[in-house]
Amino acid sequence: MDAYIQEVLDLIEYANGDAYSTWGRKRAEAGHPEPFHLKYIGVGNEDLITDIFEERFTMIFEAVKKKYPEITVIGTVGPWFEGTDYTEGWQIANKLKVPMVDEHYYQSPGWFIHNQDFYDQYDRSKSKVYLGEYAAHLPGRPSNIETALAEALYLTALERNGDVVHMASYAPLLAKEGHTQWSPDLIYFNNTTVKPTVNYYVQQLFGQHAGETYFPSTVILSDSSDKVKKRIGVSIVCDKQTKNLIVKLVNLLPIVAHSAVDLTTFIKMEHQAIKTVLKGDPKDSQAKPIMTTVKVNPMFDIDLPPYSFTVLRIENTK
């Protein structure tokens, strides 16, 4: 373990050490004189959480924390959102005060719809979460509007819980057509063409329209039944750098959702906005987002198409 732990420490020095350090010099000689500014390092991946794992994880964790306290070590809590490995992984994280853990789960669209409150009750004083692997899976594993919008709904809930869930990444990411061992993947490619999936466009829209500040919102529906409420998702965030206000609206219903939006707390006059809509039949695997320019007032009505994800980026809200 001493030799293995040294490898981990050398890896960090290779990434972040100056050009006069042993491994920083090797990085510079390899053509990258500037440090990579590594911030995170994951220890473990869907491991069986045993006494031996705990012993060895603790040795690595303590060594990294001692030499590189600025590095966030990410622990592991198994391959599911429940079960023995999940429970015992969290027990280790709590005992050692691991700053972040890596959660994984692949579930049906229905699970994502009905578990949007998954992180609402997390203890805010404990380890933060990197949702390192997740995706909505249907029988046959298609990438389509149904799975993409289930993920979009869930991502609005992750933004609401951004104080706990610091990062999230769909998995797997890349696959060459005809040479895959897992499905679905986010982006397919062959020797000449890159083929993003519908699910990719959801990830792209959330990535391009992230914010630093989340604003709580209220959704009032004419039909207040649980099955309707859970299929409408809303997230309002502010991009600190551009001062843009970003409104994300998900409609996973088979009918148009007529919405009245009240933004009088944030804007006092008409503003220009970029409106991006991803929509289609639930089985549609070829849908792409369409972008238009619109004007929005502090209070306005908007129709959310059936099976759609709408992003409004409102400019000059400072």
Per the CB < 8 A criterion, the answer to whether 17 and 24 are in contact is: yes
Q: What is the mean pLDDT of residues 261-269?
A: 89
As a whole-number percent, the residues of the chain with pLDDT over 70 amount to 99
In the chain, where does the domain assigned CATH 2.60.40.1180 lie? 213-314
CB 62 within 8 A of CB 97: no
Q: For the domain bounded by 2-208, which CATH number is listed?
A: 3.20.20.80
Confidence of residue 218 (pLDDT cuts 50, 70, 90): confident
Please tell me the predicted confidence (pLDDT) of residue 59. Answer: 98
CA separation, residue 45 to residues 41, 70, 118, 266, 297 (Å) = 12, 22, 21, 42, 48
Q: Report the C-alpha gap between 51 and 57 in whole angstroms.
A: 10
Q: According to the model, what pLDDT value does residue 226 have? A: 79
Task: Provide, rounded to the nearest whole percent, the portion of the chain with pLDDT above 90.
Answer: 86
Q: Give catalytic residue positions.
A: 46
Residue found by looking up tokens 């198994």 in the block: 78
Of 105, 90, 9, 88, nearest in space to 52 by CA: 88
| CATH 3.20.20.80 in the chain, residue ranges | 2-208
Binned at pLDDT 50, 70 and 90, residue 221 comes out as confident
Q: Within a 13 Å sphere around the CA of 294, how many CA atoms are in the beta-carbon half?
A: 17
At the topology level, CATH places domain 213-314 in: Immunoglobulin-like (2.60.40)
